[in-house]
């Protein structure tokens, strides 16, 4: 994705939504539930590469008892997501502006129950498999941070990336379910929330691929 131009007044705008993000998110490692005021047994969902926040602001209200954390590395894009959640006053949605390469600095082993990956790939055109968010080093990281029985929910428009990811999931011992190469014409569409990218790709007639990988 073309990098968004730095937003004007970014610090001031971030300062208006301080209850949505953390000055030092690493300090929350292992205690996200407690810090966010949620019960110690609630589920924690992490979305990696949330973009402008359409998906998380629609998903969090569907799971009001879960704690939903969205991570995005681009500060300007992350700001837009934070402002969207702030306007909508969603009590169970919080943000981390950071890179997914360093998830272990933010989360403790077993702290997460679900990880959403939506079109969140630093593209295949660079052909650097190691940088894909479904490359095995990332999957090993997710396994460590998710409680046993947790799932990665992966959606993409890209056939090659989808095939690659399915192989990586299998290789790393995940069980696959809800596999589809045409999500919008599948039985799972009724519960599906479309992301910004997903809507754009669907408008171009591109099928959305999706799989749930449980460990
Ligand atoms: N999920 C959104 C945005 C997809 S674009 C949607 O479906 O509409 C991919 C997003 O992932 C971009 O905003 C990009 O900044 C983010 N991203 C890519 N790699 C990342 C990484 N390693 N860590 C955090 N965010 C990442």
Residue 121 designated active-site:
yes
Structure tokens at 8: 């004007």
| Cα distance between residue 161 and residue 210, in whole Å | 11
Nearest CA to ligand 1 atom 26: 49
pLDDT, one tens digit per residue, over 119-168 is 987 665 566 888 899 999 999 999 999 999 999 999 999 999 999 999 99
What are the two backbone dihedrals, phi and then psi, of residue 84, each rounded to the nearest 5 degrees?
-65, -45
Structure tokens at 41: 């047994």
Contacts 24+ apart (CB under 8 A), 163-170: 164/129, 164/132, 164/134, 165/132, 165/134, 165/211, 166/211, 168/134, 168/135, 168/136, 168/139, 169/134, 169/139, 169/211, 169/213
List pocket residues of ligand 1, CB cut-off 6 Å: 1, 48-51, 71-74, 77, 99-101, 118-120, 122, 195-198
Alpha-carbon torsion (19, 21, 26, 30), positive or negative: positive
Nearest CA to ligand 1 atom 17: 49
Structure tokens at 28: 């929350």
Examine the pLDDT at 10 and tell me if it is beyond 90: yes
Contacts 24+ apart (CB under 8 A), 21-24: 21/82, 21/94, 21/95, 21/96, 21/97, 22/94, 22/96
- pTM of the full predicted structure? 0.96
pLDDT interval class at 7 (50, 70, 90) = confident
Whole-number Å distance, alpha carbon 37 to ligand 1 midpoint, is 27
Cα-to-chain-centroid distance, residue 76: 17
Examine the pLDDT at 177 and tell me if it is beyond 60: yes
């Amino acid at each position: 994705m073309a990098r968004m131009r730095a937003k004007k007044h970014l610090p001031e705008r971030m300062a208006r939504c301080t209850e949505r993000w953390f000055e030092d998110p690493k300090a929350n490692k292992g205690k996200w539930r407690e810090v966010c005021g949620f019960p110690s047994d609630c589920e924690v969902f992490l979305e990696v590469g949330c973009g402008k926040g359409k998906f998380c602001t629609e998903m969090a209200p569907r799971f009001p008892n879960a704690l939903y954390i969205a991570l995005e590395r681009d500060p300007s894009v992350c700001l837009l997501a934070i402002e969207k959640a702030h306007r909508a006053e969603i009590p169970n949605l919080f943000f981390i502006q950071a890179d997914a390469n360093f998830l272990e600095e933010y989360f403790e082993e077993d702290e997460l129950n679900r990880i959403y990956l939506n079109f969140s790939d630093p593209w295949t055109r660079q052909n650097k498999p190691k940088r894909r968010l479904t490359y095995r080093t990332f999957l090993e990281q997710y396994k460590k941070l998710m409680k046993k029985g947790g799932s990665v929910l992966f959606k993409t428009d890209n056939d090659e990336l989808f095939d690659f990811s399915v192989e990586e999931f299998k290789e790393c011992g995940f069980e696959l379910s809800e596999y589809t190469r045409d999500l919008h014409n599948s039985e799972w569409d009724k519960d599906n929330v479309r992301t910004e990218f997903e809507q754009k790709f669907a408008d171009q007639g591109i099928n959305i691929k999706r799989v749930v990988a449980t460990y």
